[in-house]
Amino acid sequence: MRNVPIRVETEVGGKPAWISGDVFLPDASAIVRQVVLFCFPGGGVTRRYFDIPGERTFSFVRAMTGFGFICATFDYPGTGESSVPDDGFALDATALADAGLQAVRHVVEQLRQGRMAPTLAPMDDCVHIGVGHSMGAMIVTLQQSVYSPYDAAGLLCFTTRGLPEVLTAEECAAAAGAELSRSDYSRLARARFGLPFPVIAPAHGESSAARALACVAGPLAATSAMQSMLPGNVTKEAAALRIKLFLAAGDRDLTGPPHAIPAAFTGCNDLRLVVVPGAGHHPFVTAGAPRLYECMAEWIDGVRVVR
What are the residues facing 180 on neighbouring strands? none
**Per-residue pLDDT for the chain (307 aa), expressed as one digit of tens each?**
899 999 999 888 788 999 999 999 998 888 889 999 999 999 999 999 999 998 989 999 999 999 999 999 999 999 999 999 999 999 999 999 999 999 999 999 999 999 999 888 999 889 999 999 999 999 999 999 999 999 999 999 999 999 999 999 999 999 998 889 999 999 999 999 999 999 987 666 668 888 899 999 999 999 999 999 999 999 999 999 999 999 999 999 999 999 999 999 999 999 999 999 999 999 999 999 999 999 999 999 999 887 6
Model-level pTM? Answer: 0.96
Fold of 2-300: Rossmann fold (3.40.50)
Domain map (residue ranges) of the chain? 2-300
